[in-house]
Amino acid sequence: MDVETMERIADKALAECDLKGIGLFNWTEPLLHPRLASLIRVLREREIKVNISSNLNIAKRLDEILASDPTQFRVSLSGIKPDTYARYHRGGELATVLGNLQELADIRERTGAATRVHLLFHRYRDNLDEEPEVAKLAAELGFDFIGVWAFMMPLEKVLALRDPGLHPELLTEEDRALVDRLALDPSDALSATAPYRSRPCDLLEHQITLDWQGNVQLCCGLFDPERFGVGSYLEFPIEEIQRRKYEDPYCSRCTELGGHVYANYGAPEFDELAERKAGPVQVWEPPRPSRWTRMLGSVRHWASHS
C-alpha cells in the first residue's frame, strides 16, 4: 500500500467509525514493506492505535519501525527447536528469528520505545514441551508471552471439511496431514461451537478487512480475494460495505456452521478438546528470588524511604 492510500483510508475511517485501531497485516509479512514506518506514522499522527504481526525472519529497518511508534508488535513462534520451527514456519530459520528478537529487544531498550512486544506461541500436538522455553525467552527479552492452540486457516478450507458443497477440492493432502498435527481438530472445534452459533460475529460487525489497494474483503479469515471481494473501501460508505457483507450467502453459511465462533476462538470447550488430544499445557514459572535476594531488596526498599 502506498502512503497516500493509507492517509485516505485513515481519514475516512475516522470520519465514519468509532475506530479502535488498525492492524497492518493479514495473509502477509508486514516487514517486507519498505515504507512500513511511514504507514505507521500516518496512523500514529492521527492518534490511531497500530498493531503489526510478524514471523521476524526478516528484520530490516527495525530502528525506523520502532521509532514510528507502533502500539503493539507481535512475533509468532512455533518452536524453540530448529526442526520443530522449520516444520510449522515453512522456509523459516529459527536462528535468524532468535537473532532478530534480540535485536528488537536491544533497540527497544536503547531507545525507550513504548511499543508493547509479545511472543505468540502456536501450540501443536508435538511441541507443548517447548512452550516453557519460549515463555522464558520472552521474559528474558522483556516481552509479553501468549500461548494459543494453532488452528487451521483459511476459513474456506475449514468449512469445506464440514460442508461438501463448499469446495472440498480446496483441501490438499498437505492440509489433511496438517490437521493430524493439530491439537485443536477443526471438525471437533466446529462441533463444539453449536451452543454459541447464535452469537453475532465480531469480524462481521466490528472489523473491516482491506487488501493493499484498499479493496474490502468479506472477512480476515478468508483468503481468496476473487471469491470474497466486497468493493473499494474508498468508493463506498461504511453502510453500503456492511450491507454487502451482511447479504453475502457465504457469510450466512459460515455462521450456520459456527465458523464465526471458530475464527474468533470463541468456545470455552476448545481448551479441553485440545488438551484431550495433546495433553496439558506446560507453564513456565519465573524462579523465585532467594532468601538473601529478598532480604537485600527489603534493605534497598527501606533505604529508599529513609
**Would you state the cell numbers that stand for residue 84, as one nine-digit string?**
520443530
d(C-alpha 280, C-alpha 271), whole Å = 9
H or E, element range at 229: strand 229-232
Give yes or no for a cis peptide into 154 (omega within 30° of 0): yes
d(C-alpha 149, C-alpha 281), whole Å = 10
Quick one: pLDDT at residue 286? Answer: 83
Per 3-state DSSP, what percentage of the chain is helix, strand, and coil (rounded to 5)?
50, 10, 40
Q: 222 and 170 in contact (C-beta within 8 Å)? A: no
d(C-alpha 148, C-alpha 123), whole Å = 6
Quick one: pLDDT at residue 165? Answer: 85
Query: pLDDT tens, position by position, for the chain (306 residues)?
Result: 999 999 999 999 999 999 999 999 999 999 999 999 999 999 999 999 999 999 999 998 999 999 999 999 999 999 999 999 999 999 999 999 999 999 999 999 999 999 999 999 999 999 999 999 999 999 999 999 999 999 999 999 999 988 988 888 888 999 989 999 999 999 999 999 999 999 999 999 999 999 999 999 999 999 998 999 999 999 999 999 999 999 999 999 999 999 999 999 999 999 999 999 999 998 888 877 655 555 555 454 444 443
Beta bridge partners of 145: 119
Sign, CA torsion 44/239/18/260: negative
Q: Output the pTM of the full model.
A: 0.90
| Beta-carbon count within 10 A of 3 CB | 12
With b for 16 or more beta-carbon neighbours within 10 A and e for fewer, the 287-304 pattern comes to eeeeeeeeeeeeeeeeee
Q: Which distant-in-sequence residues (6+ apart) come within 8 Å of 103 by Cβ?
A: 59, 62
Nearest to 116 by CA among 76, 69, 78: 69
d(C-alpha 80, C-alpha 182), whole Å = 18
DSSP class of residue 75 equals E
Nearest to 220 by CA among 164, 260, 170, 168: 260
